[in-house]
Structure 1
Amino acid sequence: MKTLFFSAKPYDKISFNTHNSNPHLQLEYLETHLGPHIVNAVEDGTFAVCVFVNDRLTPEVIEVLAAKGVKVIALRCAGFNNVHLETAKKYGIRVCRVPAYSPEAVAEHAVAMLLTLNRKTHKAYNRVREQNFSLNGLLGFNLHGKTVGVVGTGKIGEAFCKIMMGFGCKVIAYDIVSDPELAAAGVSYCNFETLLQQSDIISLHCPLTPDNRYLINKANIAQMKKGVTIINTSRGALINTGDVIEGLKTGQIAYLGIDVYEQEEKLFFKDLSGSIIDDDAIQRLMSFPNVLVTGHQAFFTEEALKQIAVTTLSSITALANGEEPDAQRMLA
């Protein structure tokens, strides 16, 4: 029973091979992302394809997979905006995901980005290595007492809220459905406009949907406090990059931390240190001294990789045995 991995990195191979306890499950790996350019490389009779955030499962790609007999599309991530679910349902292909893999990993990375920007530790590190111990230009601000707006209070948003409350922040949140336990713990739910207007710091922890694409745009940025900090560890297209660049130029946005980027499939998970990057938007962002970019690193912990592998493999095995995995894992 063959499962073909796309966008596979060395750490994926190690993790999945280590945690594969099913002797009948044959794992093969390709480094390239899945898309129209490579889908015909899938051999007839392949049981499952395992994909990641930048693989593109368009209707055309899924049609080819169905013709080759693929029964399962296994996402080794939580988000699924890159899979055309209606086409998968049409051809009877089951789609599963990893709904929660160490949500603390992503939440803690969001906090790390916030603290790095706030206290300029990345600049201090480089400065001290050059024997420059001056504090000029390193002035930060206390998180204690600040209002932190959290967009999306699923598992990751919940973990982030709790960390921020531990810093002594006032935490307000916006979500389609409020979490009564978080509310009881001290998180104040409000509408999106109120969150924009009151937050000193805004952190995005929601999935990407057709309704919230470019959630952070020119009009919404104008409603924010001048000097706001924005952190995005969710999906790149939640932010309109051009509008954010304008907000940075005017000072409306004081700090920006992004672990995701709308065009990241051309950049992230690759060593481009010897290349000319022709993406003007990301180059412009990285030129700002008050912007921190990491390459979709938030999930990348030992605990998260183990959970991703164990959950994905158990879902594939269950479907192969005619069993239903946990309902939260299933999308189609």
Structure 2
Amino acid sequence: MKQSFLQTFMANMETRPAGTSIFAALHVAVALFLGAVLDDALEAGITGLIAAFAGVIFASTKVSKFDWFWKGEQGGPAQHDVPVDNNQMAMAAEATNTPDVKAVSGLPAHSESVSIREGVQGPRLTVRYEKIRETPVGTSIIQISDEKAVLEVQSVIQFWCWFAPLTLTVLAFVAIPVGAWLGYVFYEATITQGWQFNSRDAVGASLRGAIILPALALGAAFLSYRHYRPQVRVTITPDMIQYGDRKFDRQYSGGVRIGYYSQEAELGTSFTQGRFGVTLMRLSYGRWGEDLKYMVSSYHAPEIVVWMNEIIDGVGEQITPRHDPYAGKKIELL
């Protein structure tokens, strides 16, 4: 378990350093708290601390919110691998004049390999091609048909995506002496007449307070980090576009647009990649348009906008038959 955990941790530190750091700090705080409880109740010592760390890691692998860490899901926590009907994909591609790549290229399935012979008697060489990405980075299709499309876009919520986690993390450090003091105060309050002051119990109470209060602050910081980096759901129907929690009348909208650029957050970067910042999403609505509170990776923003507008144009579109039986014929009315 130890080797697998370390490998997973290092891989996540390369792809999502901020989230992984908060994840590790939260788990360490919880394990220290459980170790202190075991030591106080059973006098387990270092054995209880080791058991607490092992238990926290095992429990974490069973929590779906942490799948992004254990399963190496990029972009966020929790990409949904929902199967999409190939027939629906083909109809949507035809409706939006964006034919399926596989159908045009004539290549075999992405997971298959193509064999090439070097000469008549030469060795057989197997070439594996890269898988063709079906959607832009940070996006996924939940449902798509002629009448409805449901998409998910990895986003951050401007301002709160960095302010809330940073503030709560700073409060976690401030909470260490405050928690120790509160633990000591609570211990003094429990001393009744006839009981003598015990320094060991006082130190234990202060230690528990110094662990519990920062652990709560770090837990809140982690939850805020996840909350303000959501997988935003976009629902498109012939009459409506719902982007997150806002609904727009489609007859007044011409699709999504790119807004202003900001460096207040990063999405999908690692230590070896550049810092591209995030871009605000806008929706054409009426004469002027509307700013949305969601921001996407600036590097992939143009692709996301083009992809989303193609799907918007394809939902509810009247598809003209490829072969019109009445073409070139004059219909006589009696």
Specify the TM-score bucket, using the shorter chain as the normaliser.
Answer: under 0.3
Give the TM-score taking structure 1 as reference length. Answer: 0.23
> Greater helix percent: which structure?
2
Larger Rg: 2
